[in-house]
């Protein structure tokens, strides 16, 4: 298999964690329902490829995301493997379902903008915190780890530019509720490297260390890897990615393609940064999943290495 020439950069982190979101974020807006057994096999293959964290599913109401209506069945199919896999929960009802399945890690999904909060959460920007607080408090009391996604950090399709200070304020409030990590989302892919650097500097100035921040990039405008590089240079060590570049956001039509895990791994390999993922196994998994979905993978690395 072709591999990049390794040219380490001593100013960058020596190791990063890849937070795989393909099974949840990647599949959530597929038009055809993916069978539960196929999802379970996808997750097992991702785990075998060395992905350390795999977000399995979401306990969202099936009316909103029909693709994830089988969340409980999927966790049952995965057995003990599922206990350490994060699941997204929208509210206390979702938390109840997660607790019933013995899940140890959950994520909540907030918005940095008023319009997206109204459209996605049916809450105002301020009201979302009141909705999340009891969920986070209960989860922490149960010994669960809580991650908080912040969407629309780099632009909103309805509101346009989003002030950096506004994003920081929202993220800080979610963190102060009890989240252990913030995932900052470039939901519509309009972010650029300088914007990434400025936003991370603002979060650091507000008292949030890089260890508490993850980046979630979309490649809508081809900027995901450039933005990931900027985040690396700022000291970020956790990156969300989706195997094969699957997914987007079902509530924002311009939010296409997550950063492909293979593309990120190729970048990290070339920089000599450790991550623990076997690229060949990962490419094979994405080729297999593309066959299940009936279309080629959008990942540039998958296409180059497997013609997939």
Domains of the chain with CATH codes: 18-306 (3.20.20.70)
In order of 7, 33, 35, the CA distances from 293 in angstroms are 36, 10, 11
Poorest-confidence range of 16-20, 62-66, 268-272?
62-66
In order of 5, 39, 51, 132, 276, the CA distances from 17 in angstroms are 21, 22, 9, 26, 8
Report pLDDT for 250.
44
User: Could you report the per-residue pLDDT of 36-51, keeping only the tens digit for each?
Assistant: 999 999 999 999 999 9
Does position 4 have pLDDT exceeding 90, yes or no? yes
- The Cα 60–Cα 124 span in angstroms is 19
Q: Coil, helix or strand for 290?
A: helix
Does position 107 have pLDDT exceeding 50, yes or no? yes
Report pLDDT for 62.
87
- The Cα 91–Cα 6 span in angstroms is 45
Judge whether 292 and 253 are in contact, CB under 8 Å.
Answer: no
Judge whether 89 and 110 are in contact, CB under 8 Å.
Answer: no
Judge whether 233 and 267 are in contact, CB under 8 Å.
Answer: no
Say what percent of the chain tops pLDDT 90: 91
SS3 content of the chain, % helix, strand, coil (to 5): 45, 15, 40
**Angle CA 173–177–179, to nearest 5:** 100
Report pLDDT for 140.
97
> What integer best gives the mean pLDDT of the chain?
94
Q: What are phi and psi of 57, to 5 degrees?
A: -170, -165
Report pLDDT for 167.
98
Comparison of pLDDT for 122 and 105, the residue scoring more? 105
Report pLDDT for 256.
62
User: Could you report the per-residue pLDDT of 182-214, keeping only the tens digit for each?
Assistant: 999 999 999 999 999 999 999 999 999 999 999
Q: Which of 213, 215, 249, 287 is catalytic?
A: 249
Mean pLDDT calculated for residue range 223-240:
98
The pTM of the full predicted model, rounded to 2 decimals, is 0.96
Report pLDDT for 249.
47
Give which of 260, 119, 238 is closest to 182, Cα–Cα: 238
Task: pLDDT band for 252, please (50, 70, 90 cuts).
Answer: very low
Does position 120 have pLDDT exceeding 90, yes or no? no
Report pLDDT for 307.
67
- Decide the pairing of beta strands 87-88 and 53-54: unpaired
Task: pLDDT band for 72, please (50, 70, 90 cuts).
Answer: very high
Does position 254 have pLDDT exceeding 50, yes or no? no
User: Could you report the per-residue pLDDT of 135-149, keeping only the tens digit for each?
Assistant: 999 999 999 999 999
Sign of CA dihedral 254, 233, 147, 270: positive
Mean pLDDT calculated for residue range 16-34:
94
Report pLDDT for 255.
43
Does position 1 have pLDDT exceeding 90, yes or no? no
- Could you please report the per-residue DSSP string of 222-268? S-HHHHHHHHHHTT--EEEEBGGG----TT-TT---BPBHHHHHHHH
Is 249 tagged catalytic?
yes
């Amino acid at each position: 298999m072709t591999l990049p020439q390794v040219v380490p950069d001593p100013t960058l982190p020596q190791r990063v964690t890849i937070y795989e979101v393909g099974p949840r974020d990647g599949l959530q807006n597929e038009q055809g329902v993916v069978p539960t057994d196929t999802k379970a096999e996808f997750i097992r293959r991702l785990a075998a490829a060395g992905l350390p964290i795999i977000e399995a599913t979401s306990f969202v109401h099936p009316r909103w995301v029909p693709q994830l209506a089988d969340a409980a069945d999927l966790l049952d199919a995965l057995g003990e493997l599922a206990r350490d896999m994060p699941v997204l929960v929208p509210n206390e009802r979702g938390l109840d379902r997660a607790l019933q399945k013995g899940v140890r890690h959950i994520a909540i999904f907030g918005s940095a903008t008023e319009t997206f909060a109204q459209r996605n959460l049916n809450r105002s920007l301020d009201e979302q915190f009141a909705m999340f607080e009891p969920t986070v408090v209960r989860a922490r009391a149960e010994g669960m780890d809580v991650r908080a996604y912040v969407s629309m950090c780099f632009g909103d399709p309805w509101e346009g530019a989003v002030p950096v200070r506004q994003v920081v304020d929202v993220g800080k409030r979610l963190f102060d509720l009890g989240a252990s990590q913030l995932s900052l989302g470039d939901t519509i892919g309009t972010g650029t490297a300088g914007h990434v650097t400025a936003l991370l500097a603002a979060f650091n100035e507000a008292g949030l260390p890089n260890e508490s921040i993850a980046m979630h990039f979309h490649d809508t405008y081809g900027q995901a890897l450039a933005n990931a590089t900027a985040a690396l240079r700022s000291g970020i060590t956790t990156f969300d990615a989706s195997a094969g570049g699957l997914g987007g956001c079902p509530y924002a039509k311009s939010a296409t393609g997550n950063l492909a895990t293979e593309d990120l791994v190729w970048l990290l390999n070339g920089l000599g940064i450790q991550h623990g993922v076997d690229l060949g196994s990962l490419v094979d998994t994405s080729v297999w999943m593309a066959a299940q979905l009936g279309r080629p993978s959008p990942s540039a690395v998958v296409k180059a290495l497997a013609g997939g």
